[in-house]
Amino acid sequence: MKLLLAPMEGLLDHTLRDILTRVGGVDRCVSEFIRVSGTLLPDRAFLRVVPELNQGGRTRAGIPVRAQLLGSDPNCLAENAARLAALGPHGIDLNFGCPAKIVNRHGGGATLLDDPELIAAIVSAVRRAVPRTMPVSAKMRLGNLDGSRAVECAQAIAGAGADELVVHARTKADGYRPPAYWERVAEVRAAVSIPVAANGEIWTVADALRCRELSGCDTLMLGRGMVVDPGLGLAIVAATRQAPLSDAAARGMPWESLLPLVTEFWSLVLARRDIADRHRAGRLKQWLNLLRRCHPRAEAIYGAIRTVNDPAQIGAYLAESVRIAA
């Protein structure tokens, strides 16, 4: 089984990608979207979202990153894809699934699923604009307001020349409410000749195995499940290989192993020039808040720093937590 790390705007950016891919289990990442709207972006716009382009298009752990574009103008997307391709990503992904209202109001993301012809035009234009050796993939939901055109949209994507498709097993109207309709991904997979990956509501090894069974997909994309349990990828790999589970895989990832990575994440956040000082602590709290779902001991740190914004105080508390856990 192959595992992909999902893009998650405002959460799973290049800093968290760096940390999560150090844990292991991930075969490829997709970046959060780069919005394309009427202009040819400068290189710095791509590098801001995908700084891994400065290191061969890979995270520091060596995991390849595919850069994602979002927009609705085929020609503009094609021009930007050509410029992006020159920077050396491990493929270009097209976003047809974002449910955010601000994106949808401008005709991008999941709203495009109401217009399979436009989707095909976008994929075709991007495919022609980049080298044949560079993979072009797409991510879609089952639909916008309903899933009646899921197969039609997938066929439009495949027929226009995409090399791979990821399907989030819910519509935009479903949002992130469970369940995910993995069996609908099987319908999509049966209707196209390109590889299809399943995404949505994979929180545990059992979820991953059930998703594979119902969707028929040997490639899964992990999002929030990997954020709340960074050891999930390792656990899925071990389970599918029928190998003995390590402690990290069997119990998620032990807190003692994860805590130093949380501390490293904080150091990387502090080093970033594109995050305002007043927002730095919020990035750490955001992840700790999610980690509480799988790691009860994250609760104590989250509670201790919830109202603290001073970097020195937060750093001192994390250092003491690491010392105690050692």
What does the pLDDT read at residue 98?
A: 87
Comparing CA positions, the residue from 208, 30, 51, 61 lying closest to residue 136 is 30
Beta partners for 252?
A: 250
Percent of the chain topping pLDDT 90: 89
CATH of domain 2-250: 3.20.20.70
What does the pLDDT read at residue 41?
A: 98
What does the pLDDT read at residue 246?
A: 53
Q: Is the peptide bond before 179 cis (omega within 30 degrees of 0)?
A: yes
Average pLDDT of the segment spanning 256-281: 95
What are the domain boundaries of the chain? 2-250, 255-325
Instruction: Give the active site residues.
Output: 98
Average pLDDT of the segment spanning 293-316: 94
pLDDT per residue as tens digits for the range 26-49: 999 999 999 999 999 999 999 999
**223, two tokens:** 């999002």
Task: Name the 3-class secondary structure at 43.
Answer: helix
Average pLDDT of the segment spanning 234-254: 71
